[in-house]
Amino acid sequence: MYVKNKTIVVTGGGNGVGRELVLNLLSRGARVAAVDINESALSGTIELAGDKTGNLFCYVTDITDKEAVEIFSIKVIKQFGQIDGLINNAGIIQPFVRINNLDYSTIEKVVNVDFYGTLYMIKAFLPHFLKHPESHIVNISSMGGLFPVPGESVYGAAKAAVTMLSEGLRAELRNKNVNVTLIFPGGIETDIKFNSGAEKIKKGENDAKSAIIKPVKPKKAAQIIIDSMEKNKFRVFIGSDIKVLKFLFNVCPGFAASLINKQMKSHIPE
């Protein structure tokens, strides 16, 4: 589905890849309904939109609140008349700790944002999408939703649920007018660790400079995602790291799991 002159809802539109998705869509002539729980973050996106702000509409909404999501969907459908696409980008990671040391409130928050937030948005908009000639849903999974990452097991489980939800949704919508794209990002150079409360080190001090495989810039990731949406691709892998791990897990899963364990060891307190 080409996005020009279409209206697309983007969750997590206040920062990182979500912000770049909003800006990319605007540059292609789309109208964007950007959703975020952080009003000041949305204000930053508005500032960056420049002369495209006439096509940008921002909404402060908690996607983990089922009733709030339903109210939001009714509001934007009434406002625009037709919504053509949904990009479920909003997500958080957990602190880098083992399951044994992870408190229930954090577990519930991660699952609520990463899985239920995605599910609620799909449930709210899918009936509307099915009534129109062409619509598109993009769901963002993760490297952690494919491979076991110690210290991120609950996050990985939530993203694995997004993966299976998307696979099932794609099958259910076969021969329908709603397409589904599933994105697997590897390392993306964003502040998700800090915005999620997963890192206490100073913002900006990440591993990007020392990494052997450099993380992908958010702007590039957004471009790949929108290109994939327009080309109606289903499973899309972003970044050399996830492509290498995918190959290694296919060839020698034990070695690949050991490699991840080694990489994560310094991040996880005993």
- Tell me, what CATH number does 114's domain have? 3.40.50.720
pLDDT at 45: 98
Per the CB < 8 A criterion, the answer to whether 226 and 24 are in contact is yes
Q: Listing from the earlier edge strand, what are the strands of the sheet with 135-140?
A: 56-60, 31-36, 7-11, 85-88, 135-140, 178-185, 235-238
- CA terminus-to-terminus distance, the chain: 48
Residue 264 domain-assigned? no
Residue 56 domain-assigned? yes
H helical segments located in 97-217:
104-111, 117-129, 153-172, 192-195
Residue 187 domain-assigned? yes
Is residue 62 very low, low, confident or very high in pLDDT (cuts 50, 70, 90)?
very high
pLDDT at 99: 95
| From 59, 116, 120, 155, active-site residue | 155
Is residue 265 very low, low, confident or very high in pLDDT (cuts 50, 70, 90)?
low
| 4-11 mean pLDDT | 98
Residue 257 domain-assigned? no
CA distance 256 to 270: 22
CA distance 258 to 226: 34
- Tally of structural domains, the chain: 1
Q: Phi and psi of 185, rounded to 5°?
A: -80, 140
pLDDT at 119: 98
CA distance 34 to 47: 13
Residue 252 domain-assigned? no
Specify the long-range contacts of residues 174-179, CB closer than 8 Å, at least 24 apart: 176/130, 177/129, 177/130, 177/132, 177/133, 177/134, 177/135, 178/126, 178/129, 178/130, 178/135, 178/136, 178/137, 179/1, 179/134, 179/135, 179/136, 179/137, 179/232
Is residue 260 very low, low, confident or very high in pLDDT (cuts 50, 70, 90)?
confident
Residue 263 domain-assigned? no
pTM value surpassing 0.85:
yes
- Specify whether 155 is catalytic: yes
Residue 35 domain-assigned? yes
- Give the domain range for residue 189: 7-242
Residue 160 domain-assigned? yes
Percent of the chain with pLDDT over 90: 74
| 94-100 mean pLDDT | 94
Closest by Cα among 113, 146, 148 to 236: 146
